[in-house]
Amino acid sequence: MGAVVLYSSVSVDGFVADDKDQPGPLFDWLTSGDVPLDDSGVLRVSQTSYDYTRPHWDRIGVTVVGRHVFDLTDGWGGEPPSGIEHVVVVTHRPAPEGWNPEAPFHFVDGVEAAVAKAQELAGDRIVEVAAGDVGGQALAAGLVDEVRMDVVPVVFGSGKRYFGSVDAQHLLEDPDVVIQGDRVLHLRYRVRRADRP
């Protein structure tokens, strides 16, 4: 089974969006470089960021998001973002009316069931869990193996927290990746868990 990775760009003070759900400059690093990150022609990063990000993105099989993110993005028009094969949406509500049942989106009640479904779909590929409330719930439930942060040099002051409403201590290992890109610092931590050496 592939790793479960909590992942997002984040402000220095720990926010993935402002109070109005806007990312502000958090994704500017994805469009300010010289190296194409995908085939869209829109995403262009520094070579350093490409060398770190592209191999990770290529290993993602499934993304887990909350219904709030799904609604904000209008479900990406039924096409999973960034070439990902499936999206699992944590929600208590059914798919929107008129939603294409053939779209590779799965609506699941509860974060544990969502991660289990994502692991089933991903096989040995990575399950990416979007940071925020769902990501924090997955971390609190002991389902996250690794935390990846693309730290952007901005302070929001308030907004949507990277770890959502997590209110308990969770230990991470020392960062095993610290890479400076242009206007971004890439960090990767393994989650310290009792069931793993």
pLDDT, tens digit (0-9, with 9 covering 90-100), for 54-109? 999 999 999 999 999 999 999 999 999 878 899 999 999 999 999 999 999 999 99
Residues 63/88, Cβ–Cβ less than 8 Å: yes
User: In this structure, is residue 195 part of a structural domain?
Assistant: no
User: In this structure, is residue 86 part of a structural domain?
Assistant: yes
Give pLDDT tens digits for 132-155. Answer: 999 999 999 999 999 999 999 999
User: In this structure, is residue 165 part of a structural domain?
Assistant: yes
Q: Supply the pLDDT for residue 83.
A: 80
Helices assigned H by DSSP within the chain: 47-59, 67-72, 111-122, 133-140
User: In this structure, is residue 196 part of a structural domain?
Assistant: no
Residues 39/178, Cβ–Cβ less than 8 Å: no
Which residues form the domain of 15? Answer: 4-190
Give pLDDT tens digits for 175-187. Answer: 999 999 999 999 9
Q: What is the mean pLDDT of the chain?
A: 94
We report the CATH number of the domain holding residue 175 as: 3.40.430.10
User: In this structure, is residue 175 part of a structural domain?
Assistant: yes
User: In this structure, is residue 113 part of a structural domain?
Assistant: yes
Q: How many domains does the chain have?
A: 1
User: In this structure, is residue 197 part of a structural domain?
Assistant: no
User: In this structure, is residue 51 part of a structural domain?
Assistant: yes
